[in-house]
Amino acid sequence: MVWQVLEGLSRDSAKRLRFVPGIVYVDEGAACGRSPEDRAKTLSEARLVLEAVGFPHHEVALEEVFSLPPSVLRRPAQGPAETQAQGDYKAAVDTFLQQQLVLGAQDSLPPAPGEGQLHHPQGLPGPQSWTAAQTQALCRLFESVKTLTAREELLQTLRTHLILHVARAHGYSKVMTGESCTRLAIRLLTNLALGRGAFLAWDTGFCDERHGDVVVVRPMREHTLKEVAFYNRLFAVPSVFTPAIDTKAPEKASIHRLVEAFLLRLQAQFPSTVSTVYRTSEKLTKAPREGCASGPRCLLCMCTLDIDAADSATAFGAQSCSHLSPMQLPPLPAEAGTPPTPCCPPGPGRAQGADERQDAQAHFLEQLCYGCRVNMKELASLDPLPPYIQAEAQLRSQRAWVRREIQEFLIEDGGDGEDGQS
Amino acid sequence: MPAPPCASCGKARAALRRPRSGQALCGACFCTAFEAEVLRTVLAGRLLPPGAVVAVGASGGKDSTVLAHVLRALAPRLGLTLHLVAVDEGIGGYRDAALASVRRQAARWELPLTIVAYADLFGGWTMDAVARSTAGSGRSRSCCTFCGVLRRRALEEGARRVGATHIVTGHNADDMAETVLMNFLRGDAARLARGGGLGSRGEGGALPRCRPLQLASQKEVVLYAHFRRLDYFSEECVYAPEAFRGHARDLLKRLEAARPSVVLDLVHSAERLALAPAARPPRPGACSRCGALASRALCQACALLDGLNRGRPRLAIGKGRRGLDEEGAQGAPGDAEGGVEGAQGASGDAERDVEGAQGDTEGGVEGAQGAPGDAEGAPSSCDCGASGVRAACDCE
């Protein structure tokens, strides 16, 4: 994709692209368990390639998620940000970075599928560094998640936040990622299996504006992996290989691997499979299904929450019901006239002795969408999470609590005014 | 090491762990819990109003057996009257044994049983005959498409004969998950748009149908049947290995090994899919021949039968001249291709594996677009005597 952009910007291309790009690399070596020497080696290889391309580039390590501000998780109120607002944010973030500056070692990063698109060119990257403590914290975080599936999802989330942050800090308005048609088809099925059916349009569509000011676009989504491979070979595009979190994992290790293997196998038998799945993704809209209004957003993926009531006749209802103690299931009497009682009483039906820790975790989970919830349930406790996530979670649950307290005094817009006790 | 005590009653020893929550329960408590959950689904989804006459699609397999048993237990509380309706597709060596099992169940539970046969309803076409007729097409036989569509019609017909107001089928959560995967792989946006709910309300004369077991996982259904000592038929349909659904099932099994909750996650995703308005199916009308619900001039069953009668079995299957989206689907149940149900209808649950009898396994792209040529014109007949809406069939 970088090569394509390069070509598009060159003087002799027929339609010249009109933006100034930058490149973002994210080093995920810590999550993959690589040694610092390996990472340094890959980084130097990557740097060679990047410098040949000539765009301004920013190298960030995944460890830096531990120094992100909670504002990463907030969606800016206004739509596409004007320059002034961006400038304010940028200034604020710059000061924050200065405060958080820790003397660090070198930067080391393998290539990441990220690229930034700018209004105005930026100079050299700001000071970015990481410490061994952060690396350890990152390793601890990934180890506390047991399954590879949840790890990959967590990695994806953290990476997205990091790239967002870099984009905002340097004033980029769009982020281009290089996912091909094949990868998107795989992701579509994977997200379906992870319970993210409501958000497929955002996760796999061409443009993804759920972060507000920064838009994620996927310009390569029409090209299959094979085409990309051929292109790279024919035009001698240099690339750097680096192991990812699921390299050499057995096929059954995670949902992502399973779906990938399955789809590629099926593609061999029915050659239209990938394009069929891809076309289906084009038919997805971003509107919610029954026009459920814009409610609160998920803490991690920033999509509107897709949770139903706990006792509804849906998959979510079935799961939340079976978690409650079976002693609360009413026996089946033969009375015909009894009104239908819900089999699981809503409200706090959990066992006695819920610690604060469990409470905090419960509150945290409540702020997540279905898919993120399933992933985060694997975490035994919230401690390993980066501070920005914890801070934002606390803030939101605080706000929700306050809102519940004053709910009866609020006047809803368009509804009947409630005036507390008369 | 002795088994832990039951988590619910605390008295008996636990005999199983629930697959979903890992709770240890004794047999009786588990069955109670299972029934309670089905009850909750029915009540919360308002599926079966009191006083309903319910036709239970019974195939003799585990899902319909469990369904019939649970509904029988819940019937006094819900105020339902139950009838068993079994469909005889005419698959030798398979359906006869299944029907014997259904007869035994009906006798044991003292429920009225009605059997409808393809041979009677559809002019002598049994599934074996269909299979022979489609065998020479070179590609896979798509028996399942025929079977599913026709079974829907047969079930509807059987339900009408007993005067039922609702039809229930024994689809479980795994079925729904497989169907979602399958529809995605086939690119069947119309079915995706239609599916995800708990059943269809039944428009324009078709009986409302629902799936009370939809949120129960297959493992639990098997456990329930075991603990209640239910006798059912558990072999695979003869035509099952050719079905496309087998791929989806295979993937689902592996996904479940990686993450046990994936079945419900898929059902949740299916409930929440948002498809563009253009992909949604058109409003249904009525079939010009039989009056059943149809989204084009001919309902799917009539179209398929037409193809068979004219010696062109693949007439109603295949892309047709129009794109996938507008083909949309066949409107609704009466059309025998209900949304995500994949045409399982009454039977088919017996043999888990590569089922086959699951109807729209080939549904997707081949989705059953009404035979293009048949849409217009009054019925006439060709010189060779075959009936059809065109003046001449392709007998020459």
Q: List, for residues A305-322, the tens digit of each pLDDT value.
A: 777 665 566 766 666 665
Is A288 in contact with B35 (Cβ distance < 8 A)? no
In chain A, which residues have their Cβ closer than 8 Å to the Cβ of B29?
326
Is A315 in contact with B264 (Cβ distance < 8 A)? yes
Three-class SS of residue A76?
coil
Token pair 């079939």 in the structure block, residue? B287
Q: How far apart are the first and last CA of chain B?
A: 76
A280 interfacial to chain B (CB closer than 8 Å): yes
For residue B361, what pLDDT is reported?
37
Is B40 in contact with A313 (Cβ distance < 8 A)? yes
B22 interfacial to chain A (CB closer than 8 Å): no
Q: Which two tokens stand for residue A119?
A: 């209004």
Is B273 in contact with A289 (Cβ distance < 8 A)? yes
The closest CB to that of A283, out of B79, B272, B276, belongs to B276
For residue B350, what pLDDT is reported?
36
A317 interfacial to chain B (CB closer than 8 Å): yes
Buried (b) or exposed (e) across A86-112, using 16+ Cβ within 10 A?
Answer: beebeeebeeebeeeeeebeebbbbbb
Three-class SS of residue A13?
coil
| Dist. CA A206–CA B205, nearest whole Å | 42
A335: left (phi over 0), alpha (psi -120 to 50) or beta: beta
For residue A76, what pLDDT is reported?
65
Burial of B275 (0-12, 13-18, 19+ CB in 10 A): buried
| Dist. CA B190–CA B174, nearest whole Å | 21
A264 interfacial to chain B (CB closer than 8 Å): no
A360 interfacial to chain B (CB closer than 8 Å): no
Q: Which two tokens stand for residue A323?
A: 């978690």
Is B276 in contact with A285 (Cβ distance < 8 A)? yes
B273 interfacial to chain A (CB closer than 8 Å): yes
Closest residue by Cα to residue A312 from A292, A337, A296, A333: A292
Using CA coordinates, name the residue in chain A closest to B188.
A280
Token pair 């229930």 in the structure block, residue? B168
B78 and B84 in contact (C-beta within 8 Å)?
no
- Phi and psi at residue A177, in whole multiples of 5°? -115, 150
| Dist. CA A173–CA B149, nearest whole Å | 52
Is A287 in contact with B247 (Cβ distance < 8 A)? no
For residue B234, what pLDDT is reported?
77
- Give me the long-range contacts of B373-381 (CB less than 8 A, separation at least 24): B374/B297, B374/B298, B374/B303, B374/B306, B375/B296, B375/B297, B375/B298, B376/B297, B379/B289
| Dist. CA B36–CA B49, nearest whole Å | 17
Using CA coordinates, name the residue in chain A closest to B266.
A193
Per-chain mean pLDDT for chain A: 71
Q: Which of A64-68, A333-337, A343-347, B212-216 has the lowest mean pLDDT?
A: A333-337
B31-60 residues touching A, CB cutoff 8 A:
32-33, 35-37, 39-41, 43-45
Q: What is the average per-residue pLDDT within A13-35?
A: 70
A386 interfacial to chain B (CB closer than 8 Å): no
DSSP A352: S
CB atoms within 10 A of CB A294: 8
Distances (CA, A) of A334 to B46, B48, B62, B69, B72: 19, 17, 26, 16, 12
For residue A246, what pLDDT is reported?
72
Is A313 in contact with B185 (Cβ distance < 8 A)? no
Beta strands (DSSP E) in A28-113 are: 57-61
| Dist. CA B230–CA B234, nearest whole Å | 12
DSSP A149: H
Per-residue pLDDT of chain B (396 residues; tens, 9 = 90+): 677 888 778 777 888 888 777 788 888 888 998 999 888 888 888 888 888 888 898 888 888 899 999 999 888 888 888 888 888 887 777 778 888 888 888 888 888 888 888 878 777 777 777 777 777 655 556 777 777 788 888 888 888 888 888 888 888 889 889 988 888 888 877 777 776 666 666 666 678 888 888 888 888 899 999 988 888 887 777 777 777 888 889 999 999 888 888 888 888 888 887 777 665 566 667 777 776 666 666 777 777 777 777 776 666 665 443 333 333 333 333 333 333 333 333 333 333 333 333 333 333 333 333 333 333 334 444 444 444 434 444 444
The alpha carbon of residue A321 and the mean position of all alpha carbons in its chain are separated, in whole angstroms, by 28
Is B8 in contact with A331 (Cβ distance < 8 A)? no
pLDDT-based confidence at A116, cuts 50/70/90?
very low
The closest CB to that of A313, out of B33, B198, B261, belongs to B198
In chain B, which residues have their Cβ closer than 8 Å to the Cβ of A306?
272
The closest CB to that of A192, out of B21, B73, B266, belongs to B266
- Phi and psi at residue B187, in whole multiples of 5°? 70, 30
Is A273 in contact with B29 (Cβ distance < 8 A)? no
Q: List, for residues A35-46, the tens digit of each pLDDT value.
A: 778 888 888 887
Largest CA distance in chain A: 83
Closest residue by Cα to residue B173 from B268, B274, B56: B268
In chain B, which residues have their Cβ closer than 8 Å to the Cβ of A194?
262, 265, 269
For residue A333, what pLDDT is reported?
35
Q: Beta strand B53-57 with B166-168: parallel, antiparallel or unpaired?
A: parallel
Residue A383 forms beta bridges with which residues? none
Q: Which two tokens stand for residue B193?
A: 């748009």
**pLDDT higher than 50, residue A91:** no
The alpha carbon of residue B122 and the mean position of all alpha carbons in its chain are separated, in whole angstroms, by 19
Closest residue by Cα to residue B279 from B325, B321, B322: B325
For residue B298, what pLDDT is reported?
72
In chain B, which residues have their Cβ closer than 8 Å to the Cβ of A316?
268
Q: List, for residues A44-81, the tens digit of each pLDDT value.
A: 887 887 777 777 778 778 877 777 777 777 766 544 33
Q: Is the ipTM of this complex over 0.85?
A: no
| Dist. CA B305–CA B265, nearest whole Å | 38
For residue A179, what pLDDT is reported?
83
A373 interfacial to chain B (CB closer than 8 Å): no
Q: What is the average per-residue pLDDT within A220-247?
A: 81
| CA-angle at B39, arms to B224 and B361, nearest 5° | 65
Is B265 in contact with A315 (Cβ distance < 8 A)? yes
Q: List, for residues A271-293, the tens digit of each pLDDT value.
A: 888 888 888 888 887 765 454 55
| pTM for this entry | 0.73
A146-185 residues touching B, CB cutoff 8 A:
147, 149
Cα atoms in the Cβ-side hemisphere of radius 13 Å centred on B335 = 35
| Dist. CA A33–CA B213, nearest whole Å | 45
Q: List, for residues A123-141, the tens digit of each pLDDT value.
A: 333 334 667 788 888 888 8
Interface probe, candidates B269, B327, B365, chain A, greatest A C-beta count within 10 A: B269
For residue A419, what pLDDT is reported?
46
For residue A410, what pLDDT is reported?
80
Using CA coordinates, name the residue in chain A closest to B49.
A340
| Dist. CA B334–CA B160, nearest whole Å | 12
For residue A166, what pLDDT is reported?
86
**pLDDT higher than 80, residue A257:** yes
